[in-house]
Amino acid sequence: MSHSSKKVAVLVEQQYQELEVWYPYYRLKEAGYGAYLVGPEKGAVYPSKLGYPAKAELAASEINANDFAGVVIPGGFAPDFIRRSEAMLKFVRDLASQNKILAAICHGPWVLCSTTALRGKKATCFYAIKDDVINAGAEYHDAETIVDGNLITARKPDDIPAFCKALLAALS
């Protein structure tokens, strides 16, 4: 079954965690969704923590949240760079305001700390940013994956299978 009319952005920036970008990206494509690597600049190549390149297929400044069903926000150190891009934050904020799927893993919820998306929601994340997630208004739980409405969060690469399963269920 093709879901290609449903588009999902997978955010990329330098120092991303490899598995947290590529596993969801290819899993979405395998399930028939339109998955797109979205960065601050279209065509720019963003190296992972280990140097693996991710070429942005779309620029955040050139896309509209109305055209997307959701977003995957990976961890690594990329969220610190994603938060420096107003276009990237605007895209995530617009998705949040439209109650679209916000799927963030590991350090990914750090991006959501720059929005109001965590307020009043249950969430998990990598333990190092737990305080940030709590201070952004979330009720933190140390769990493999948490789904609270449109919000899907997971702690670390080991949680990717459960994270992707929850993401695909939310999209269907």
Cα separation, 163 vs 58, whole angstroms: 24
Q: What one-character-per-residue DSSP string does 42-101 give?
A: TT-EEEBTT--EEE-SEEGGG--GGG-SEEEE--BTHHHHHTT-HHHHHHHHHHHHTT-E
Separation CA 8–CA 38 (nearest Å) = 10
Task: Round to whole Å and give the CA distance between 101 and 68.
Answer: 9
Catalytic residues: 106-107
